[in-house]
Amino acid sequence: MQEMQRISPTFYVEAGLHEITFRVKASVPGGEQYPRLSKISLHRDGESMKSKEKYIYRFGDHAAEGDESMRDLLGGKGAGLAEMTRLSIPVPPGFTIGANACRYCLKHGDLPAEFAGELAAAVCRLEESVGRKFNDERNPLLVSVRSGAAVSMPGMMDTILNVGLNDENVVGLAERHGSLRFALDSYRRLLQMFGSVVLGVPKRRFDATLDSVRDECLIGAGAELDETALEQVIERFKHAIEQHAGRPFPMDPREQLDMAVCAVIESWKNERAQHYRKIHNISDDLGTAVTVQSMVFGNFGNDSGTGVGFTRNPSTGEHVLFGEFLSNAQGEDIVAGSHTPTPIAELALAMPEIYRQLVDITSRLEAHYGDIQDFEFTVQKGKLFLLQTRSAKRSACAAIRAAVEMVEEGLISRAEAIRRVPTDAITEILSPQLDLSAVKMQPIARGLAASPSSATGQIVLTSERAVHLAGKHRENPVILVRQETTADDIQGMHASVGFLTARGGATSHAAVVARGMGKCCITGASGIEVDEAAGTARVGNCELREGDWISLDGATGRVFQGKLPLRSSEAADMHLETLRTWARETPNAKVRANADTPEDARRARQHGAVGIGLCRTEHMFFAPDRLPQMRAMVLASTLEQRQKALDTLLPIQQADFEEIFHVMAGLPVTIRLIDPPLHEFLPDREEVKEQITQASSHGTSAEEISRLEGVLQRIGQLSEVNPMMGHRGCRLGITYPEIIAMQVKAILQAAIKVGTSGIEVEPEIMIPLVSCVEEIRHLRNAIEIAAKEVFQQQEKTVPYRLGAMIELPRAAMCAASIARETDFLSFGTNDLTQMTYGFSRDDARKFIDAYLELGILQDDPFVTLDQEGVGALISLAIREARSAKKSIKIGVCGEHGGDPRSIKFFRSVCVDYVSCSPARIPLAQLAMAQASLEHAL
């Protein structure tokens, strides 16, 4: 056995060795060195005895390997280079180390044993391909080492250029290319990148050295360093490296390469890359490929340069070549922002032939990939090279415009356009957003982004103040800040442009109302204390008073102090509407609306909803002119009192249903029978006590005091320890059948009246919070009796369907028996999640953030459906229900019906429709279309 620092496959094959041990030294910040030991077992012909897995693939020459289909292995960069080679596009030769090597390293803490031999062989092939060798003092091979995962992570991982330069061959490089300054500048870049990425020298150390030399040599910040200055920089860089890392910069080009490859692989685990993956839901197990590519130089003079570009404007989607070019520079000069580039269009004047070639090549690439391309290129002494192509990151506006226009240009199909546009692009375009482009400030608080638009306004702490300060015509924008909101706040919520609450989750009262209204809402924001009496609110470390301005970034849950500007979308309505039309026309992509009022129904119809999937009848009474009647019904202690209140409520409900049926003409309307957690409609106990005290002290009549005392007593009787699991849903209808009778009469009388005007009406009556089939049978009988009475009185009939809302685990388990007694089922995923987890959705914010941070939960289950638990119940229920009644219609009406990832699951288990808040319908339509297209494959 022979020990050596690097190996040559020619040497060990000719020597007939069967096993080689090699050692690569690497350094970590602080200067500690550690050996990386590996063994390779070989046949005499060089074939590995341990593994047949291949780790390295070449590109850029006649023997290129791989193509775009190998993106998971080669990463986006490597796959793009391989594909461009296949298309005969000029690409500097090199090779890609597959992501399988990184995954192996992540799992085992080291690269595979056979990797070193494969790397050595790849280097030899590259040397033969370009006609240069590592450490050739007269004509050295220099390479770049770059990361590249299958999913684009721009700027998250590290790049090292000019690997292979040292004190000896830098002179040969200068002589070969006739420029000492060029060679020294390339060496300076290597030391700076290698020192930072591989040896952990802080970048500020190099920046400070550059500034120091510039000052000493009286060279301006924008001017180029001359040869003398570069020589000083190089020596000081080498000194900084040795001082910080505890070892000199490696002069052996192969050691540089080995260490650079290891460092780029290690950069997969750096903090910024991990954070990027977390916010974009990219798996940590994916790993990165590493591209090693022979250098081409844009810093050769005025006939050279570097550029980045896009085949279409990534901000607007306009079909025009867009980008920047920098003459006599290397790639990182543009990326780092240290130089001011010129628009790429000016390349047409400076280098017309290069520009023509670039337009031709990038047009071919866009047509080949059928997508906007983000490309990098270098011009070396008048010759063009493409260094990268990948699908471009783009704004929401650009994503939609480009997708639609590419269909019109024949590049992609409608289905592909639907698949390509991210669902959050719809939300971004339709929601006003804070303009943070010129703002450098930190948020004063963070919470849950419960409704995605943004808002800026003056703080108000009560509903009454919101109405007063907003003004009659809502001319003053106000933001309602509360510990939590209740039904009593509805007036103030209507007057406000946004809500901020200290408590509550994604399905809390504030969140549900905000989404229904299409307003900004941040809930569960820690560090908020509201003092209504003092008129102050502590938000984070800031004490604010009513009238102070704050701004809410509903897309991220951030709260800013002050009045920040809002920017409206400049998206072309034509392109958005075209895409939405295609989405609605996709088979099996039905989206209904959760709409509780005629106004909600109108908005839903405008957005193209195919019906109402949930009309919550108790929400019809949140309005201040209706709340007293609803409260009277709830507080009634006798049948006579309750019937009197119901007689008042019936015409109100019937009028609303008539208007809703008119708006939704020809479309189904699912009306959930009343399901109020009673505490939402009870007066505040302490307020009533205070009223009694004041009444007694002011000589109020004994009759009024007795009435107030009766109200207080009734509040005590109706108060529940756990109201969300208390006297609500179908239980209320069973114990108080007169309530159900009133609602059924209101629904059917409205349907008959609207139907007589020639409008097609499709009422669907839904029983809430069922747990067993016996509840369904009992209430079905009561509903049929009430319906029969209406039909006899009106001397007309109207068809209606009867269904159940599946919100409890037991109902899901018993779906077969429930299906036999119903015409449709609809999953209320908010309560189903709450009941399955045993989490209170309004209180869980206290620990869910910690669960997410610790990785106990991957997603907030009240935002994105828990497929493993809740999803399993839904899947089982659908399977059992359809086995009992094949024709039964099944929908989803919980807030998960507006979440794209949840929608994907719902479509996979073949729900007939999803239903969500009107403001989320456009997003849900696109998500449902995408899920239906995927399901059809």
Q: Name which of 17, 48, 58, 63 is nearest 116 in CA terms.
A: 48
- Cα four-point dihedral sign 99, 105, 110, 112: negative
* Three-state SS annotation for 191-244: HHHHHHHCCCCCHHHHHHHHHHHHHHCCCCCCCCCCHHHHHHHHHHHHHHHHHH
Amino acid sitting at position 838:
G
Between CA 598 and CA 480 the distance in angstroms is 25
Burial of 653 (0-12, 13-18, 19+ CB in 10 A): buried
Q: Which of 244, 509, 619, 896 is catalytic?
A: 509
Q: Are 848 and 505 in contact (CB under 8 A)?
A: yes
Q: Does residue 43 have an active-site annotation? A: no
Q: Which of 244, 893, 896, 916 is catalytic?
A: 893
Between CA 74 and CA 89 the distance in angstroms is 18
H/E run at residue 97: strand 94-97
- Cα four-point dihedral sign 389, 395, 396, 398: negative
Between CA 825 and CA 841 the distance in angstroms is 23
Q: Are 738 and 645 in contact (CB under 8 A)?
A: no
DSSP H helical ranges for 285-392: 331-336, 347-350, 352-369
- How many degrees, rounded to 5, is the angle at CA 241 between CA 237 and CA 243? 115
Burial of 702 (0-12, 13-18, 19+ CB in 10 A): exposed
- Cα four-point dihedral sign 302, 305, 311, 317: negative
Between CA 386 and CA 379 the distance in angstroms is 9
Between CA 375 and CA 314 the distance in angstroms is 12
DSSP H helical ranges for 246-312: 253-266, 271-279
Q: Does residue 494 have an active-site annotation? A: no
Between CA 767 and CA 758 the distance in angstroms is 28
- How many degrees, rounded to 5, is the angle at CA 826 between CA 450 and CA 451? 10
- Residue entry with tokens 């907003």: 470
Going from the C-alpha of 241 to that of each of 23, 135, 185, the distances in angstroms are: 22, 21, 17
H/E run at residue 303: none
- Residue entry with tokens 């090699």: 22
Give catalytic residue positions.
Answer: 509, 893
